[in-house]
A and B are shown apart, each in its own frame.
Chain A
């Protein structure tokens, strides 16, 4: 039998029959590489288990307590920083409204009414401008362009709906 065969037995740590063991022993006498492998296997198997010094569990408990203390301190600092950040954000949001606190109730009411009127005027103006633009565009854009645009719009919505249905079916089959 060739050297590699014996080497594989040793490297694979295989269980050998009595006959195989005898063959291996004969080979080991003449092969320094395999003998070194066999010696290494034995030396590793013979190495004892090393135990820690007394009081390991007690030292672990101390370490766990110290770790908990650090975590508690970290979470307190985290909550403090989060609160601080929240206060800062709230101040930033409320900052534009702070001047209103100094106003009289009548002044405040007048201000609110004028703001509402302003918003209503803006909406009305924008809708008027939009309608005018649509009228102007209607005069310039030919009819067939509207038909093409509408067809594209309906085509796209149909495509989207079909793909959504297919995705739903795929998800159902995967589940």
Chain B
């Protein structure tokens, strides 16, 4: 039995310290998923906290045969999808305000080794977030689970309660949409380069 399984078992028996260890271990993947889904750090923090709370409350129902990360990320993804659906109209109005360029711009860190590259990187990240915002909530979850967590189509289907063929078609549609949105933003920015590498998990 590894550390994670021990913590899960102890947490299921009511050990809060063990659950805190699980929180520490998974805080980054869960926060990243919420951030990619909701697009705002404050909203992501709240959603990530709520996801852990739901996991804590439903820990007795967790099947130990299933990977804990998949179960936890599935809770977070469903929570974010629910939030996005509830806030759809608000998000639309906020998005239209953003078009007026009201949003504070992130300035490049001048102390960084290469401030120009840092600025480009930030711009690219904002571009990706904007492209993700253009997707339907479930499509966005499928894309995030695929690209940041290396989930297979079967795992995505299990996490989002979809069929494998539905996941395939959602990924196809979402990829085309992201490509279109990124090209519309900046046709020449996304030059071929090596990915940063390791997935979130």
Identify the A interface with B (CB < 8 A).
10-13, 33, 36-53, 56-57, 59-61, 63-64, 67
Contact = CB atoms under 8 A, between A and B. Distances in A.
Most chain B beta-carbon contacts within 10 A, residue among A41, A44, A46: A44
A46 B128 CA distance: 10
Nearest to A11: B172
Contacts of A47: 36, 125, 128, 147-148, 196
Interface string B12-55: 00001000100110011101100110000100110011001100
A43 B128 contact: yes
B195 A39 contact: no
Contacts of A50: 28, 31-32, 35-36, 41, 44
Contacts, number: 111
Interface string B148-171: 100000000000000000001001
A61 B172 CA distance: 40
A51 B53 contact: no
Prevailing SS type, chain B contact patch: helix
A66 to B, nearest CB: 10
Given A41-B175, A61-B20, A49 B32 contact: yes
27 contacts: A12-B168, A36-B179, A39-B192, A40-B178, A40-B179, A41-B175, A42-B192, A43-B127, A43-B128, A43-B190, A44-B128, A44-B178, A45-B196, A46-B124, A46-B194, A46-B196, A49-B29, A50-B28, A50-B31, A50-B35, A51-B28, A51-B31, A53-B41, A57-B27, A60-B52, A60-B53, A63-B49
Contacts of A33: 179
B147 A45 contact: yes
A127 to B, nearest CB: 59
Given A43-B178, A60-B49, 17 more contacts: A36-B179, A39-B183, A39-B191, A40-B182, A40-B190, A41-B175, A45-B196, A46-B124, A46-B195, A46-B196, A48-B196, A49-B29, A49-B148, A49-B200, A51-B27, A52-B45, A59-B49
Prevailing SS type, chain A contact patch: helix
A59 B24 CA distance: 11
A60 B20 contact: yes
Given A36-B179, A40-B175, A52 B190 contact: no
A44 B130 CA distance: 12
B71 interface: no
A51 B32 contact: yes
